[in-house]
Chain A
Amino acid sequence: MNLPVLKAADFASDQDVRWCPGCGDYSILAQMKKVLPDLGVPREKIVFISGIGCSSRFPYYMNTYGMHSIHGRAPTFATGLKSTRPDLMVWVITGDGDALSIGGNHFIHALRRNIDVNIVLFNNRIYGLTKGQYSPTSTEGQVTKSTPMGSIDHPINPLSLALAAEATFVARSIDAHVKHLGNMLQRASEHKGTSLVEVYQNCNVFNDGAMAYAQERKQRAENVVELEHGKPLIFGEKSDKGVRLVGSRLEVVNLADVPVDDLLIHDEKEPNPAIQMMMARMRYPEMPEPIGVLRAVEGVATYNDQINDQVEQAKIKKGPGSLQELFTTGDTWEVA
């Protein structure tokens, strides 16, 4: 089939984008529009579904099918849609409050069912749309409108949670690291099964600079390790540091002291998530935080394939449904 060649602009809807100037969401929107034309999927076959929050305005800005749904539930709409319309490419756009607080349950269950949708989680560690309360990813002690004496919640780590649910594709990127972000969206779209991409996204109004250690180019090299499958974990401005596995924990080493061969080699295809979980738990400032594809396990059956396979199998086994047969099978009697 000859598909028309589409450009990023073809994916822009006629609606004005209304995020705050300087918001990290713009970057994610731009990368999405840039990636989609290369996927070879016509616009009418793409659906964006979001929950509630700043990020969830996203579908209005895409010239595809879209649904701005209710708070926390986007994965469930996507599940119903993809189960019945496996021909569609379905994206879920969500945030840290939407996916991990009010929608935590649905997030887990979408991942463990391995429904073939792509979840992009905009993590700014704050509630933006409700004007500045702490979120489930806010750091301990964080002072916000609702935590004047500091947050006493232990934050949730989206990647750990996803790995615990045995998600088959788990990745992280950063709004300001645009090329990397584009790659991650592309990889997520290619994965068969639920894909999660956590994006560090700056809320420049209510939580500005919360992840500057990773977002600012100058700091990033020292605080972030970019994962690549089959490659050792090396980071630092001069690529002079690495991460190795010692017993049952990871530690940062100086490559001046330790040979590269001793470093942990990243294996995104390993089905056992134990080491991936250890990497997900690397947190600033003690450790560099991993970005990239943490886990990409292919070959796991998807929910949408299986629910449709069962229908096909039933039709083969019992023949296509017949109302006449349904109504008259079993005990019936005649009244003259």
Chain B
Amino acid sequence: MTASPTTSKNVKTVSGITVRLAGDSGDGMQLLGTQLTNTSALAGNDVATFPDFPAEIRAPRGTRAGVSGFQVQFASEEIFTPGDQLDALVVMNPAAMVTNLGDLRKGGILIANVDGFVEKEFKLAKLEANPLDASVIEETYRVFKVPMTKLTRTAVAEHGLSQKVGDRCKNFFAMGLVYWLFGRSLDTTLRFIEDKFGRKPEIAAANIAALRAGWAYGETTEAFGESFQVEAATLSPGTYRNMMGNQALAWGLITASELCGKDLFYGTYPITPASDILHELAKFKNFGVRTFQAEDEIAAMCATIGAAFGGTMAVTASSGPGIALKAEGMGLGMILELPMIVINVQRGGPSTGLPTKTEQSDLLQCMYGRNGESPLPILAPRSPGDCFDIAVEAWRLATECMCPVMILSDGYLANGSEPWRIPDIASLPKIDIKHPEGADGDEPFLPYARDEHLARPWAIPGTPELMHRVGGLEKQEGTGNVSYDPANHQHMTDTRAAKVNQIAQRIPDQDILGETSGDVLVVSWGGTYGACHTAVNKCRQAGHSVSHMHLRYIHPMPKNVGELLKAFKTVIVPELNMGQLRMLLRSTYLVDCIGVNKVQGKPFHISELVNAIESHVSVPSKSTGNSKSTGNSKPNGKANVQSRAS
């Protein structure tokens, strides 16, 4: 392997680039995207990614349904989203072009593998003619038609592969060209190829040849006049690595188990987009991780409770449909008052919904989706890297309160990635867990006695003298015996709720971007953080009185949230659902809120949030209380801005 080449052409420095790579499901676009991300991160850029792929493993080839895309933004300044409009779009076939072109900005770069633009492919994409031939295309974008398949065949010819196998190298050709265009080093990918295909040297050599041929094509073809350079970003000092959300959850769980000195049990059932947590944890059995792939979601939940009863750090995860199945078990975990973590990596719903797309529509399910009064603490990470901190915090709260804690992630965070500053392990606070070790003199053991956090003792089987029975029937305070006493049921219901609510007193106050009072407050939670943060910043730069509150503690919320909400004339709540946090805020704090709501399986564009905010900053506040809520979804694909309810 020789060093990465350098260009002799003109290089233009820009602050950031948003590029999307789109092709057929089998074209290797996710691989290409991941490589571009890692390479950019190692170059010191801030990066944010958005993989977008169909639910079908091998969707019909060449069709619009089978298009798989990977969007990455890399920048020399701090970024919080994978970008709105694309600066460049690489398409491997006509279906990829027509389904993605709408996001390419005017004057943006369109690179097409023209070998994929043939009659058969037009039919598969339900097109009458070659979409590249439309005159508007050349007028609107900077179009580069590259015969990638043919050039790849030439490049790999000497490695003696069959044409079918050789053609699979074309994603590396595309990668090489993209790397040239954006001044990326080939080193990371060369290393990757040698690691991945080390046992098949002819494949490794062919992929390397294709990668270099792609780079050389950019360097030598006159069509490409200049390439772009994105300087390193100024991130906080430290050692960084690229981190995906699900990976960060897994690492956070492992870290929490190390911090409390307990082995980790992870009971789960495969479901998109949560399965990668299982795959990641299963690699780390040497940390004392036991993964259990259960026969179904219910078994996964209940095995987790069984492990928790035994004194292990127990965790389960799923997505909405699986969480629905776990609901009864979660209720049991709550009344048993045992610590555990339940993760919901949300996807598009309802029912099976949009398994590979993102949405935030399980908030109320997690708040209220169990029978009876069964409140649980809920935390929501705001970025892929934040998943790590949230996992550790969830276990700390679960053991402090002796109750299941829910983490609400989503598909956007799960598969997205960003640079993650490696924490100083020694500075991570230990999680101190005490199990009672034996009887206190002649006093009978009280499994439902309370400490200052209203938590009961975690007495585990194997401890002499502390034998006790737990169960789903209402408990007598103190003894834990079955009790039908009316006053006791009221007392226990109140206590379980108070135990959760008291968390608000111990977590940090809610912070805010901008002033703590003013015209508009944007309130968000979960994976929309980046878009909302960036949109608010843009509006602030434009001189508007706008602040941003992003909630990581969803239940209970920090104790100053109500006060902050009341300090603004208008509260806007953007969510990838039809208004679930808005409903909670209204009912909890009696503050009116305006929703910006979208359920299209896609994250917010910054621009649609800026538009929504700007439509309110100019309006004299609190004077339009009688305007009507539209509630209608708009067919134009824009987020639905709900007016103030009358």
Contacts and interface: CB of A to CB of B under 8 A. Distances in A.
Given A49-B306, A80-B265, A332-B241, A326 B254 contact: yes
Contacts of A68: 469-473
Given A44-B465, A314-B286, A332-B239, A105 B296 contact: yes
B472 A311 contact: no
A310 B285 contact: yes
A99 to B, nearest CB: 14
Interface in B273-310: 284-290, 292, 294-296, 298-299, 301-310
A139 interface: no
A313 B288 CA distance: 11
A249 interface: no
B329 A70 contact: yes
Contacts of B242: 331
Interface of A: 13, 15, 42-45, 47, 49, 52, 59-60, 62-70, 73, 76-85, 87-88, 105-106, 108-109, 307-308, 310-311, 313-315, 317-321, 323-324, 326-328, 330-336
Contacts of B303: 76-77, 79-80, 83
A80 B471 contact: no
Interface in B226-249: 232, 234-242
Contacts of A60: 469, 471, 481-482
B285 A311 contact: yes
Given A67-B309, A333-B44, A336-B237, A321 B287 contact: yes
Interface of B: 38, 41-42, 44, 188, 232, 234-242, 251, 254-255, 258, 263, 265, 267, 284-290, 292, 294-296, 298-299, 301-312, 314, 328-329, 332, 336, 422-423, 425, 461-473, 481-482
Nearest to B425: A323
19 contacts: A15-B482, A45-B461, A65-B469, A80-B306, A83-B265, A85-B312, A88-B462, A106-B299, A311-B289, A311-B290, A314-B286, A317-B286, A320-B286, A321-B288, A328-B422, A332-B422, A333-B42, A335-B234, A335-B239
A78 B332 contact: no
Contacts of A332: 239-241, 422
Nearest to A303: B292
A326 B466 CA distance: 38
B149 to A, nearest CB: 30
B422 to A, nearest CB: 5
Q: Which 10 A-B pairs have the closest CB atoms?
A: A68-B471, A80-B306, A80-B303, A321-B287, A77-B306, A314-B285, A76-B302, A66-B469, A81-B306, A85-B310
A67 B286 contact: no
A321 B284 contact: yes
Nearest to B305: A77
A328 B467 CA distance: 44
A85 B311 contact: yes
A196 to B, nearest CB: 17
Which of B232, B254, B263, B298 has most chain A Cβ within 10 Å?
B298
Which of B251, B255, B462, B467 has most chain A Cβ within 10 Å?
B467
Nearest to B482: A60
A235 B537 CA distance: 87
Contact of A80 (B232, B258, B295, B305): B305
Contacts of A52: 472
Contacts of A106: 295, 298-299
Contacts of A65: 461, 467-469
Contact of B292 (A47, A80, A315, A318): A80
B187 to A, nearest CB: 10
Given A67-B470, A321-B254, A327-B425, A47 B461 contact: yes
Nearest to A48: B469
Given A80-B307, A105-B299, A321-B254, 18 more contacts: A59-B471, A70-B328, A70-B329, A73-B302, A76-B298, A79-B306, A80-B304, A83-B290, A84-B310, A88-B462, A311-B288, A311-B290, A318-B286, A321-B288, A328-B422, A333-B241, A334-B240, A335-B232
Contacts of A59: 469, 471
A305 B309 CA distance: 19
A334 B296 CA distance: 43
A81 B285 CA distance: 18
B306 A76 contact: yes
Given A80-B307, A321-B284, A87 B302 contact: no
B307 A83 contact: yes
A331 B304 contact: no
Contact of B294 (A42, A49, A76, A317): A76
Nearest to A66: B469
Contact of B240 (A84, A88, A333): A333
Contacts of A327: 241, 251, 422-423, 425
B302 A80 contact: yes
B402 to A, nearest CB: 15
B42 A307 contact: no
A90 to B, nearest CB: 9
B41 A333 contact: yes
Given A59-B469, A83-B292, A326 B239 contact: no
A84 B425 CA distance: 26
Given A70-B332, A310-B285, A335-B44, A80 B314 contact: yes
Nearest to B262: A84
Contacts of A64: 467
Given A80-B305, A323-B254, A323-B258, A328 B469 contact: no
B329 A73 contact: yes
B303 to A, nearest CB: 3
B381 to A, nearest CB: 18
A59 B461 CA distance: 14
A223 B335 CA distance: 46
A97 B408 CA distance: 35
Given A79-B299, A323-B258, A44 B462 contact: yes
B422 A84 contact: no
Contacts of B461: 44-45, 47, 65, 81, 85, 88
Contacts of B465: 44
B440 to A, nearest CB: 16
